[in-house]
Every structure is written in C-alpha cells, then in structure tokens.
Structure 1
Amino acid sequence: MEVKILSKKLIKPSSPTPSHRRHLTLTPVDRLAPPIKASNIFYYPAKGSSPADDVERRNRLETSLSETLTRFYPLAGRYTRESHSVDCGEFTTSLASVQVTVFACGGETVGVRIRHSVVDGFTAAHFISAWATASREGIDEVIWPSFDLASLLPAKDLPMVKPRPSPKIFGADKVVTRRFIFDGANISSLKAAACGPSFKREPSRVEAVTALIWRALMAVSRAKHGRLRTSLASHAMNLREKFVPPLPGICCGNLYTEVTATFMADSSKTELPNLKELVGLLREVKFKEPVSREDVLLTVIKSTNELHEALGKEDVDVYKFTSWCRFPFYGDDFGWGKPAWMTRCHTPVEMISLQDTECGDGIEAWVTLDKQDMLQFQQHGDIMAFSSNGAP
C-alpha cells in the first residue's frame, strides 16, 4: 500500500500559556515513568463524505487540537531532562504528536503519540477525549484539567530510586506482537474457572485474563529452562481513586504505581499453579487501604525499587502488564461517529497490554514477546481454548 505524506504542521496552542503556567516541575512519579511514547490509533469507517467534507473535517481537527492544547498546555511544551521540567511556553518541539491518515475507501485513522514522562494512561485518555469533545461540541464543553501534582504531593526525605535495569530482550527485530481476543462468553467461562471458594467476589475481566496469560507464560518459561522459576506479574495501578482526602478535579500527569504479584518457585513445585491461585496472588498486592498525599511518593518509590530489583535477577521472570480497560476510548467521537476500533502500536520490549473490545464485555490482549517464546505461547492449550488470535 502506497502512503503519501500530504502535509506536516506544528500545531501550537490557540492562545499563549499564562506566565504562571510557563514552567511545570515534574513529580518523582513522572521521573520514574519509562522513556517511551504511548501510542493509540483510532479507526473510523467511511461515511460517504465529499472532498469538501474531508477538508472541513481536517480543518476542524486542527482547530480543536490547537484549542485543546491551551488546556493541556504541557503537551505542547519542551521537556528538559536535566531539570525534570517542561517549558510550557517553548513550542519548537512537542511532547505529543498526531497523525491523521485517510484511505482510498474513505475511512480514516487518528493516531496519537504522547511521551510517558508527562502523562499516564489516565491523562492520555482525558486528553484524547477532550480533543474529541472540542471537535464535536466546542472547546467550552471541555472540563479544565489540573497539572498541579507537584504542589499536591510532598517530596521530602524520599529514598533513592534503584536504576532501571536494561531490558533482557529489546529491539523491534527481537520481539513480535500478537493480538489475542477474549470475547464476553469466553471471559465468563474463564472467570468461573478462576473463582476460588474463599473469594468474596468473582474475578474481574482483567484479573481472569491476566492470570491466564501469566500461567501460559510460566509454561513457556518451564519448557525453556526445564523447571518452574519464580515469576512476577506487574500491573500499573492508577492511584487517583485511592487518595484520602480526594484529589481536586482532573489531576493530570503520572500518578500510578506498579503492583507486583509473586509466585515463588522451589524444588518441590513442578506443576503450574492453577488460575484460582494466581488470581489470589494478584489480589494480595492490590491496595486495600486509602493512600495519603504524604505517603504516596514513598509508596511509589518502594514498589518501583522492588520491581527494578526483580528485573535485575537472571533467574526470575518478570511480566509487565498494563490495562487500558474501562477507559472511554470507544466514545471518542470527533463529530463523524465513534471509532470502530482502537489499537496500540508495537513496542520493542516484552509486555502485555489489555484493552476493551468494541462491545465492552471482552478484552483484547496485545502480547509482545521474544519471537521463539511467542511460537509456544500462542499454541498453549489455555490460550487456544479461551481466545482467538486476530492479526494486528
């Protein structure tokens, strides 16, 4: 398929950033974010529009993006690594990029790519939703976000952060990404299989799918190494709903922590744990108590250090999960209908990304693994029984 680049533009905020917002100091949580850019692509079906309609649509996207950047002003700024800050009045470069692609059939995609140093999944979802609202209904309908986390979270007497080890497998030529679709019916069966008698509630969709994938990955590791190894499943958890007292408004930036479940292997264990056991391990590490503003940074650094320590061990398997489930991506209507599909872009590191299916009751798991490991993973009995393998 031939691709033509019709134009490239630097979209600036529609009005200058006020002087008191020109300098954004990043929080310690921002500094812990991986040095990657998160990407989402939204697919919109053809609507039988005329060329004039297509031009008006692209103009509306540009105008509304410019207006939205006025409120999400750090995304148009320049990141300075040395001072861990963002110059929100310097628009020569951008922390966010957008690509609109129009196909010969009349369908189009809207791709958004944002640097993780300034946003997490919560913030990215709110930015895209705000842009869609501004395009569809006007900027006055967009709720103002807040980028004041640095002033809300005390950063005193914090421990040192252990360096993040280099990925054991890295590079687009070393890994492969496959999409596995768990529909609503299969997830219902999976939740029933993973529900233990002592559970007060049945497993969530994310818990059940995470446990299944984790177990299949353990099987791949056992086949490779000839034994069960200690294994960790790490999920990023949004901390905003855990705060007491609650945070004001829509607090944007990075405000999450890694929660890591651990299966400890020993010489007496030769069989894979069952799904009920793995769901139990996942639940053990969830935050059950509220988090105070005074303690949140210490909590995040402690969990990050534990994860970095595990990543540095050669005889421990660490599987990183991230879930975009329940984010309202399928409601992002720019004025010509809701997306038919949303995807993530391929990453050059091993990870598992979960997101809703369009109907909302299923999960798409985008799994990135070593190429040889993927051959075994996709042939695992549980993966074949509960999912379908859709081409990305």
Structure 2
Amino acid sequence: MLSKLLRFGRRQLHTVVSREIIKPSSPTPSHSKTYNLSLFDQMAINSHTPIVAFYPNLDKSSEAKTQSLELKNSLSKTLTHYYPFAGRVMKSGATNVDCNDEGVEYIEASNDSSLSDFLQQSHHEDFDPLFPNDLIWFDPHIRGDTEGVTCPLAVQVNRFACGGVAVASTLSHKVGDARSLLNFINHWALVTARKDTSLINPQIIPYEARKNKLPDILSDKSRVGCVTRSFLFPNQKLNDLKAKVTAMTKESGQPVMNPTRVEVLSWLLHNRTMAAATKKNSGTFKPSGMLFPTDMRGILAEKLPGTTIGNLNFVIEFPTPNQSDLEPHITIGEMRKRKEAFQSIPNLETATEIVSQMSPETALETSKRIDPYHIYSSLCRFPTYDIDFGWGKPLKVTLGGTVKNVTILMAAPDGNGIVADMCLEKEDMKILQNDPELLAYC
C-alpha cells in the first residue's frame, strides 16, 4: 500500500514494507479456548478503536531491525496473557471469541518525512495511513464487510525518516473498549522495556454464554463531509472556566459545587457546538443531546480492577431539546444526577441484568432518539502517557480521526491541560474555530 499525503506543496510517501502474523508465545489452555462476550460486548458497534503513540528517535544507535525483533518478541509474550485478542471473532452477531492462538497482524511501514514535520503539517485525517488495514472507527468498508471472522487486534509500527516511530494499534469494539486497548499497549510496552512478563495483569472475566436480543444502541456514524480538529485548553484557562461556571450556577439559584475540568469543558464544547449549528441554520436551534461513555470499572459500588478487559462502560444520556437546556446548572447538574444513579448499582452482574431487561423495541427507539446526539468521551485519567517501550514517554498519544459529532478528551502531553479532538461537519467546524467564546479558553 502506498499512501500519498500532500501538505504545503510537498508530497509525503507512506509505504507498507512488511506484514506478518505474530502468535502468542505459549498456547492458550484448553479451558480458556472460548471467551464468551458479555452483553455489553455484544451490544457494541462493529468498529475498531484506533490509538497511536509517537516517539522521537532518542537512541541514535538503535537499529530498526533490532527494535523490530524486540517489539515482535514482546508482542508474542504479551498476547499469551491477552489471548482473546489473538483469537478470531465473527464480524457480525458474535457471542464469543475463538481463542485459537492464530495471532495478530504486525505491519511495518515507512514515511519519508521527519516526525516533527509530519506532526506539524498533518491533520487528524492524515493519521489514517498509520493504522493497519484502514481499521479506523466506522470506516465504510468495515460497515459493509460483515461476513466471516476477523482478528480483534492489529498493530502497525511506522518509521519516519528521522528515526522517529509511531506505534498504532486497533482493537475491535466487540472485544474491548479504549481502556482495554490502552491496558494492552501499556503492558506490551512494559514487556518490551523490561523483558519481564511478571508485571502483566489483565483481568479476564469468564462470562456465561448468552445471546443478546438487543440491537446496537448507538448507531454508527460517518466521517463523510466532516473534519477532526484539536483544541488545547490549558489548566489555568480551565480553572477560569470552572470559576465562571461556579458563578453562573450560583446566579441561577442551582449552584454546582466544585465542578470538574471535564464537566465544565464538556458543557462549553456542547454549548459552542450548538451555537455553531444554530448560526449555520440561520439562527434556528436544532434539538440534540449529549452522550457520556463512562467507565464502569471504578464507579460501581463493587469496583473492578482497572486492567479488566471488555466493554465496561455505560452511557449517560442527556437530551438538549431547547436552548435553555444548555445552561451549565442544567447540563452539569443533570450529568451528575444520572451518574449518581449508576453509582448505586452494586456490581457488574446487576448492571448486566438491568440492561438485559430492556426490550428490543425500547432499545431500537432509544437508538433512533439519540442518533443526532453528540458524544463526549474522556480518556483524561487513562494511562495514555505511561506507554514506554524503553524509548521514554511518547511525544503525543491520540486516537485516529474520529467520526461525526464525537469529541475525545485526553490529557495534554505535558500534563498542562486537556486536548479536545472534535469531529464536526466542515461548516460547523469553520464557525467553531472562529468562536471567541470558545477560543477564550484555549
């Protein structure tokens, strides 16, 4: 595959140079050959979560061939502990993973630009060639290809002319969420750096076999006609925003005490996104809503280890049918109320049972109702900048170009603030990028 990216009059060449299958270093025990997907897994959308970490060439003496052998060897050892990722799963209607140790695809690619030039001159959509086989979110060919089986995980190591490296991984959402993939990448990096597997501790829950009767609650979204752009909100600006929100909610008579950075930023982004859409629509407000995927691992009364794999998140839904719903005391207040309702759920078994009681008709109606909603997903507390393959911490970690009306919040590389990667229709984004009320906090 040869990809050409034109930026500032220069044509970048991105070329796949090798492909191979990496299998687990030890066979999966016979009693673990079938990994049953949970109800939440089965309801997940047929998509892939893409994460890439960029590293400068810190070790000038390190040869690419040696580095490649180390990465493949450590990947093989790590897959032994993450055996469902090296198995095969049906592309449609899957209820389990066949943990047959057939392995994952390991791809190496080269880019003829320097890493610094690539990062400075590229937008999110230019990151697509860094990922294996175009497995990025809801790529059209993924939606259309529903027959047969697939490997849940694939990785691609991209080398730049300067010696910099971008390690990209994609994981089927049917098998795990973003936290699952980040756990895997961190453990893979740990084995590479320390040559020791004793610190790998993924928690794999042995779910009972069950067939999901519910449709996907979240319909898939497209990237057609959309662009993804990044906005950096420094800590001091976020503190100013927190103070503003606190004052506004006090004036409303419904004070929100100690709002978090994610709460106030989600409110600001949705408020200004709706303002942009209204401006584009000749001043007419279009009803929408907010969705907040929330990690269940640490929120249920009976906590789950952070390294538990699977789709362990629930979605907080908050409709915004009127402009008055965009006031911070309403938006943040409702977010908190709905989150507290989930915190009263004792354990994962109860959460699963609650969802299983939903009828297919109710689930379908929910899907239709929330289709135009905007998704705000925070990875701020996830171990994104701990990924150290022995080359030091990454310069940048991000997800591949996202999809329409999806915003991903991540910690800034230096810890000073939050980066929001937003995907909107081109006209909406153009308005948002020139919005003084948003830019005041960037």
TM over 0.5: yes
Deviation at 1:123, TM superposition (A): 1.2
How far does residue 82 in structure 1 lie from its aligned partner after superposition? 4.2
Show structure 2 runs of 5+ residues with no match: 1-11, 104-149
Partner of 1:121: 178
TM-score by length of structure 1 reads 0.86
Counting only pairs closer than 5 Å after superposition, residues 330-369 of structure 1 correspond to structure 2 as: 330-369=385-424
Q: CA shift at 1:36, angstroms?
A: 1.0
Does the 8 A contact of 1:165 with 1:308 survive in 2? no
Q: How does 1:69-84 map to 2 (within 5 A)?
A: 69-80=79-90, 81-84=92-95
1:285 partnered with 2:338: yes
Measure, in 1, the Cα distance between the counterparts of 2:231 and 2:361.
31
- Quote the residue 1:19 is aligned against: 30
Counterpart Cα distance in 2 of 1:183 and 1:309: 40
Once the two structures are TM-superposed, the CA of residue 317 in structure 1 deviates from its matched residue by 4.2
Moved more, 41-50 or 25-34: 41-50
115, 138, 145: which one aligns with 2:195: 138
Task: Give 1:240's aligned residue.
Answer: 297
Change beyond 3 A, Cα 1:227–1:308: farther
Candidates 265, 275, 283, aligned match of 1:219: 275
TM-score (norm 2): 0.77
Once the two structures are aligned, what percentage of the paired residues are identical?
29
Residue deviations 1:200-249, cap 9 Å, x none? 64211111110001101221232316433433110111112233444468
Using the TM superposition, name which of 279-288 and 251-260 deviates more: 279-288
Residue number in structure 2 paired with 1:390: none
CA separation in 2, counterparts of 1:185 and 1:308? 43
* Aligned counterpart, 1:112: 169
Partner of 1:320: 375
Q: Counterpart of 1:62?
A: 72
| Structure 1 residue 298 displacement after superposition | 3.8
Equivalent residues, number: 375
Which secondary structure does the structure 2 equivalent of 1:194 belong to?
A: helix
Cα distance between partner residues in 1 of 2:19 and 2:401:
23
Deviations 1:36-79 (A, max 9, x none): 111111111121423x5332222111111110000001111100
- Distance in 2 (alpha carbons) for counterparts of 1:2 and 1:162: 41
- Alignment equivalent of 2:425, drawn from 370, 379, 391: 370
2: distance between equivalents of 1:94 and 1:360?
A: 34
Q: Are the aligned partners of 1:149 and 1:253 in contact in 2 as well (CA < 8 Å)?
A: no
Which of 154, 171, 187 is 1:97 aligned to? 154
SS at match of 2:170: strand
CA, structure 1 residues 384+244, in 2 after alignment: closer, same or farther (shift >3 Å)? Answer: closer
Segment drifting more, 329-338 vs 137-146:
137-146
**Alpha-carbon distance change, 163 to 305 in structure 1, aligned in 2, over 3 angstroms:** farther
Instruction: Please state how far the C-alpha of 1:164 moved relative to its aligned partner.
Output: 4.4
Residue 386 (str. 1) matches residue 441 (str. 2):
yes
What do residues 139-164 of structure 1 show as CA deviations (whole Å, max 9, x unaligned)? 3332332222514xx979x8x53554
Contact map agreement 1:27 1:149 (CA 8 A) in 2: no
- How much has 1:260 moved relative to structure 2? 1.2
Matching residue of 2:128: none
- Listed one character per residue, the Cα deviations across residues 149-181 of structure 1 (whole Å, up to 9, x for unaligned) are 514xx979x8x53554755x62x4321111111
Point out the more displaced range, 363-372 or 290-299. 290-299
Kindly provide the amino acid, as one letter, of the partner of residue 234 in structure 2: D
State the AA in 2 paired with 1:53: E
Equivalent position to 1:175, from 226, 246, 250: 226
> 1:18: Cα distance to partner?
0.9
Distance of 1:346 and 1:193 partners within structure 2:
31
Secondary structure at 1:312's aligned position in 2? helix
Q: What SS is found at the alignment partner of 2:188?
A: helix
* Secondary structure of the corresponding residue to residue 253 of structure 1: coil
Alpha-carbon separation, structure 2, partners of 1:216 and 1:249: 33
Report the 3-state secondary structure (helix = DSSP H, G, I; strand = E; otherwise coil) of the residue aligned with 2:437: helix
CA distance in 1, matches of 2:306, 2:383: 18
Cα distance in 1 for residues equivalent to 2:171 and 2:60 = 30
Q: In structure 1, how many angstroms separate the alpha carbons of the residues matched to 2:41 and 2:194?
A: 32
Distance 1:226 1:298, change over 3 A: farther
Shift of 1:15: 0.9
Secondary structure, in 3 states, of the residue corresponding to 1:91? coil
